[in-house]
Homo-oligomer: A and B are copies of this chain.
Amino acid sequence: MENLQDIAHQVYQRTGVMTSSKDVEKILSAVAATPHFWEIITLSQRPFSVVAEMIELLRQKNLVTIEKNGDIKFNSKGLEYLNSLKIVPKRVYTCPACEGRGINLSKLEDLIKKFDQVTVNRPKAISDYDQGFVTTQTVVSRIVLMAERGDLEGKKLLVLGDDDLVSIAAGLSGMPTEIVVMEIDDRIVEYINEVANKYNLPIKAMKYDFRDKLPDEYVGYFDTFITDPPETIEALEICIGRGISALSQEGCAGYFGLTLIEASLGKWNIFQQILASKFKVVVTDIIDDFNHYVNWDYLLKSVGKDYAFVQVEPRLNWYRSSMYRIETLIDSKGIENEYKPCELYVDEEALIYKEENK
């Protein structure tokens, strides 16, 4: 029967994303653990397009059957194949108390409640800016993480893009002295300013597209930044580079999410080279599955595949990302403060299909 290397090569030909036999193994192990496409993505931690094309390949080779409800199941030939490769269902040992983040939220229950109350009428996620916001548990865990590392209390915080409303949670925590939100979506800028006014929070939100230069007064101004960047290499470099340029000195910190759903390990490596060698910052933490996103309405309409097993409503908050924390050193530097055109959302690893990608 088909060997792993051949499958990896066929997946590569279909997607343009480098795929190894170990990647194939990890996806097989995830399919053995759950029949639900979106959970397979979560468990295998491999790019969306790779997982989708590999399952389609398994279907064509008659190793899996797609059921009426979209469930993916190994048939007897498929199970035999798994056995021959000694592949076992993916094991999960996530701490149920903290969802694997390692953070205790029990002291923050008031903040969780308050955040949910205050943001009940938040703007809906829209596709124009690839929006999709994180769960309240995630938002508050971000606040705790920054606080624990000494990056929040008495500090000036920059939130670069904020459909997650981290600024509001940070404001409600009472810890930062000043919070600035730079955000491209007018609805969100307006919403955050309204909430800040109503609850007297030290937040100022303004319209900003991170391809534009930073307002001069904010270069070298902040102690900490947090962002959730789009995941093309160009967008990562510019977005995180802007964040670093906004920090005031060595020992400042940046926080951002990065997925393995829209970014391959090869992309992670290139980006880590940029962080270590070009920006000269140090990565102090990479926390797996830290950020859990609430499912957004436009997913099935805009996702780049129409396979029956893909076109099913997610049964879990499947879209997750790792949380990076970086810290600046004495010779860290961001990017030049000038306009930088770049492709934000679309490359071969992207989840969302855009017209201009035809």
Q: Is there an interface contact between A265 and B329, defined as CB atoms closer than 8 Å?
A: yes
Q: Is there an interface contact between A88 and B154, defined as CB atoms closer than 8 Å?
A: yes
Q: Closest residue of chain B to A274, judged by CB?
A: B276
Give every chain B residue within 8 A of A273 (Cβ-Cβ): 273, 276-277
Q: Is there an interface contact between A269 and B288, defined as CB atoms closer than 8 Å?
A: no
Q: Is there an interface contact between A249 and B282, defined as CB atoms closer than 8 Å?
A: no
Binds B, one of A91-99, A196-204, A213-221, A336-344: A91-99
Identify which of residues 147-175 in chain A touch chain B, using a CB-to-CB cut-off of 8 Å.
Answer: 147-148, 150, 153-154
A266 on the interface (CB 8 Å rule)? Answer: yes
Q: Is there an interface contact between B153 and A88, defined as CB atoms closer than 8 Å?
A: yes
Give every chain B residue within 8 A of A20 (Cβ-Cβ): 249-251, 330
Give every chain B residue within 8 A of A272 (Cβ-Cβ): 272, 275-276, 282-283
| Least CB distance, A186 to chain B, in whole angstroms | 35
Give every chain B residue within 8 A of A86 (Cβ-Cβ): 154
A190 on the interface (CB 8 Å rule)? Answer: no
A314→B184 CA distance, assembly (Å)? 51
A200→B329 CA distance, assembly (Å)? 50
A287→B284 CA distance, assembly (Å)? 9
A104 on the interface (CB 8 Å rule)? Answer: yes
Q: Is there an interface contact between B94 and A102, defined as CB atoms closer than 8 Å?
A: yes
Give every chain B residue within 8 A of A250 (Cβ-Cβ): 20, 22
Give every chain B residue within 8 A of A288 (Cβ-Cβ): 102, 284-285, 287
Closest 4 CB pairs of A and B: A22-B251, A100-B102, A97-B97, A95-B98
Chosen A-B contacts, 7 in total, with CB atoms closer than 8 Å, are: A22-B251, A88-B153, A91-B147, A96-B97, A101-B102, A272-B282, A285-B287
